[in-house]
Amino acid sequence: MTLSERTRAKKEHFLAQTDAETVELIGSGLDALASAHPAGRALGPGSRAPDFERPDVRGGSVRLSQWLESGPVVLSFYRGGWCPFCSLELRAWAEQAAALRAAGAALIAISPEAADRATAYETDWNPPFAVLTDADQRVAEAYGLTFELPGAARTAQRRLDAPLDRLNADGTWRLPVPTTCVIDPHGVIRWAYVNDDYTERAEPEAVVAAVESLIAKRDGQAES
CA torsion through residues 32, 34, 36, 38, sign: positive
Q: Return d(Cα 130, Cα 110) in angstroms, integer.
A: 8
Q: What is the pLDDT along the chain (224 residues), one digit of tens a residue?
A: 899 999 999 999 999 999 999 999 999 989 998 899 999 999 999 999 999 999 998 888 999 999 999 999 999 999 999 999 999 999 999 999 999 999 999 999 999 998 776 655 554 567 899 999 999 999 999 999 999 999 999 999 999 999 999 999 999 999 999 999 999 999 999 999 999 999 999 999 999 999 999 998 877 766 65
- Nearest-CA neighbor of 206 among 193, 220, 188, 218? 193
Q: Return d(Cα 141, Cα 42) in angstroms, integer.
A: 9
Q: Return d(Cα 50, Cα 75) in angstroms, integer.
A: 11
- pTM of the prediction? 0.94
Q: What's the DSSP call for residue 45?
A: T
Q: How many CB atoms lie within 10 A of CB 171?
A: 11
- Nearest-CA neighbor of 197 among 63, 82, 30? 30
Q: Which domains does the chain have, with CATH numbers?
A: 3-223 (3.40.30.10)
